[in-house]
Amino acid sequence: MKFLLIAVFSTIVVFPRCRAQTTISAAPTPRTDSKSAATDSSLDLPPLPRSEVSLIGGTVMRMDPIRDRIVVRVFGGRDLTLDFDVRTQILQGATSVSARDIRPGTRIYADTIAKEGRIFAKSIRIGTGTPVGEARGQVIDWDAGTRVLRVRDVISSQPFSVHIGAGTEIRADGRVVPTTDLVPGSLVHVTFRSGSEGTNSAQKIDVVARPGSVFTFEGKIVAVDLRDEHLTLAESRGNSTFEVALDSLPQEAKLRLRQGEDVIVQARFDGHQYQAQSIESVPNAQR
205-220 core/surface letters (b: 16 or more CB in 10 A; e: else): bbbbbbeebeeebebb
What is the band of 77 on the pLDDT scale with cuts at 50, 70, 90?
low
205 and 219 together in one domain: no
Residue at 18 is within a domain: no
116 and 137 together in one domain: no
pLDDT tens sequence across 266-277: 999 988 889 999
Q: Tell me which DSSP letter residue 237 carries.
A: S
Q: Which of 105, 126, 147 is the last residue of a domain?
A: 126
Q: Which of 170, 193, 209 is the last residue of a domain?
A: 209
Is residue 257 over pLDDT 90?
yes
121 and 42 together in one domain: yes
Residue at 28 is within a domain: no
- Per-residue pLDDT averaged across 219-231, rounded? 89
Return mean pLDDT, the chain.
Answer: 77
The bridge status of strand 95-96 relative to strand 187-194 is unpaired
- The letter for the amino acid at 28 is P
Find, among 92, 75, 83, the residue nearest to 113 by Cα: 83
What is the band of 34 on the pLDDT scale with cuts at 50, 70, 90?
very low
Percent of the chain with pLDDT over 90: 31
39 and 121 together in one domain: yes
Residue at 23 is within a domain: no
187 and 253 together in one domain: no
- Per-residue pLDDT averaged across 21-41, rounded? 39
Task: Answer with the residue of higher pLDDT: 18 or 144.
Answer: 144
Residue 197 makes CB contacts below 8 A (sequence gap 6+) with: none
Q: Which of 110, 126, 142 is the last residue of a domain?
A: 126
Q: How many domains does the chain have?
A: 3
Q: Tell me which DSSP letter residue 185 carries.
A: T
- Per-residue pLDDT averaged across 147-173, rounded? 86
pLDDT of residue 83: 93
pLDDT of residue 195: 61
Residue 206 makes CB contacts below 8 A (sequence gap 6+) with: 171, 172, 188, 189, 190
Task: Answer with the residue of higher pLDDT: 265 or 23.
Answer: 265
136 and 99 together in one domain: no
In angstroms, how far is the first alpha carbon of the chain from the final one?
Answer: 52
What is the band of 179 on the pLDDT scale with cuts at 50, 70, 90?
very high
pLDDT of residue 21: 34
Residue at 30 is within a domain: no
Give the alpha-carbon dihedral of 80, 86, 91, 95, to 10 degrees.
170
Please tell me the distance from the alpha carbon of residue 138 to that of residue 145, in angstroms, as a whole number. 20
Domain with 263, as residue range(s), is 214-286
What is the band of 284 on the pLDDT scale with cuts at 50, 70, 90?
low
Task: Answer with the residue of higher pLDDT: 129 or 178.
Answer: 178
pTM above 0.75, yes or no: no
Find, among 99, 102, 186, 178, the residue nearest to 140 by Cα: 186
Is residue 251 over pLDDT 50?
yes
